Amino acid sequence: AVLADNNYDVTLWTRNEQQANEINHEHRNSKFLTDAVLPDLIRATTDMAEAVTGAELVLFAAPSSAMRAVARQAAPYIDEATLCIHATKGFESESLKRMTTVLAEELACDPNRLVVLSGPSHAEEVVRRQPTTVVVASASQEAAERAQDAFITPHFRVYTNTDVVGVEVAGAIKNIIALGAGLSDGLGFGDNAKAALLTRGLAEISRLGMAMGANPLTFSGLAGVGDLVVTCTSRHSRNWRAGSMLAEGLALDVVLDRMGMVVEGVRTTKAAHALSAQFGVVMPITEQLYKVLFENQSPRTAVEDLMGRGRTHEMEELSEDWGLHH
Ligand SMILES: NC(=O)c1ccc[n+]([C@@H]2O[C@H](COP(=O)([O-])OP(=O)(O)OC[C@H]3O[C@@H](n4cnc5c(N)ncnc54)[C@H](O)[C@@H]3O)[C@@H](O)[C@H]2O)c1
Ligand SMILES: O=P(O)(O)OC[C@H](O)CO
């Protein structure tokens, strides 16, 4: 919808014929964006060749679990001039690869043509043209600026960044913290607990990100603090909603079934748990979420464990995380 507002002819690709028909004939996508009217310049197809051939830019927005398969399908129709952007927040499950790595492999393309678009941007608000700010990051500033030009509108403000690792890690890990925020709210805890989760969550995100090569400044930007705040506090967040349902005592598979949309934080918890071991990074909130989701730990015990951790000197810990001298 943002691209259509900038007068691009937009072709959406979907596997679902009925959904494509609804978009083309009624300009609606009722399952995912109830009530929103889509711009006329958007049309949908189930034919990948039709969607991608000759496109100036391709935006991948599949769930992380489907990114490789979707990119593989699109690859034959993408040429060297195409700018490839993704808006997916997660890692590949087994390989623990970031999404730009998956795209670079499948599209056999130069990282300078790849861009990640991230930041606080619930689709429900973007489609209503409510003020939204995002960041586009690429190894190439020029590619990031091309993406900025394509997406920027009076309602959708786009910042550039060249820290692809930081933007991707921040966008993925905030979903774990949002699951935690939903659990906390669902258990009846208050604003103090949520502020603690956000603050200590950001420390955890930054710690892993820096170990993976990110620039620490990215975490105080839109992909970091910005997306963390919106996902932990918005009623639109699927991760937050899934966390609050878990607090009601529902089993994980029941929660995922009821959501009917991707809850990236679940797979990301597993991936981040493995990454924290791989990079030797302490991630206490992720650790507790992992136990709640996959080892039947009760959420209340998880909170007790977090609150009962060894005493810490805040400034010493943050200095070490940020590589500063205390
Ligand atoms: N919804 C948002 O507001 C929002 C905002 C920013 C980023 N994201 C990110 O975008 C990604 C997708 O999220 P979403 O909200 O669109 O999820 P969704 O669950 O609402 O929709 C996912 C779509 O992908 C399709 N899909 C699933 N597996 C597929 C496959 N193997 N091949 C082709 N299509 C497949 C589903 O049928 C569905 O149409 C996630 O990584 C999410 O974190 C979402
Ligand atoms: O609905 P969620 O929890 O997947 O969050 C969507 C976006 O990442 C918010 O920026």
CATH of domain 165-321: 1.10.1040.10
CATH code 1.10.1040.10 region(s) in the chain: 165-321
Neighbours of 107 (CB within 10 A): 20
| Residue bearing the bigger pLDDT, 109 or 313 | 313
Residues 6+ positions from 137 with CB-CB distance below 8 Å: 115, 116, 118, 144, 160, 161, 162, 163, 164, 166, 167, 168, 218, 223
Q: Is 121 annotated as a binding residue?
A: yes
For 65-93, the DSSP string reads GGHHHHHHHHGGG--TT-EEEE---SB-T
Residues 6+ positions from 299 with CB-CB distance below 8 Å: 183, 186, 187, 246, 247, 292
Nearest ligand 2 atom, CA 227:
10
| 72 within ligand 1 shell (Cβ under 6 A) | no
DSSP 8-state assignment for residue 229: H
| 66 within ligand 1 shell (Cβ under 6 A) | yes
Written as six digits, the tokens of 128 are 């209503």
CATH of domain 2-162: 3.40.50.720
**Nearest ligand atom owner, CA of 133:** 2
Positions of E strands within the chain: 10-13, 42-45, 57-60, 83-86, 114-118, 132-137, 156-161
Q: Whole-angstrom Cα distance, residue 317 to residue 45?
A: 51
Indicate if the pLDDT at residue 319 is higher than 90.
no
Q: Which one of 174, 194, 270, 291 is the catalytic residue?
A: 174
Tokens 């996902």 -> residue: 231
Share of the chain above pLDDT 70, in %: 99
Share of the chain above pLDDT 90, in %: 94
Indicate if the pLDDT at residue 111 is higher than 90.
no
ipTM here = 0.98
| 90 within ligand 1 shell (Cβ under 6 A) | yes
Task: Render pLDDT for 161-182 as a digit per residue (tens, 0 to 9).
Answer: 999 999 999 999 999 999 999 9
**Crossing angle of helices 238-247 and 264-279, rounded to 10°:** 90
Averaged confidence pLDDT in the chain: 96
Neighbours of 114 (CB within 10 A): 25
CATH code 3.40.50.720 region(s) in the chain: 2-162
Residue 109 has a pLDDT of 84
- Closest by CA to 63, choosing from 44, 85, 89, 83, is 89
Q: Is the pTM of this model over 0.95?
A: yes
Indicate if the pLDDT at residue 322 is higher than 90.
no
| 123 within ligand 1 shell (Cβ under 6 A) | yes
Q: In the annotation, is 270 catalytic?
A: no
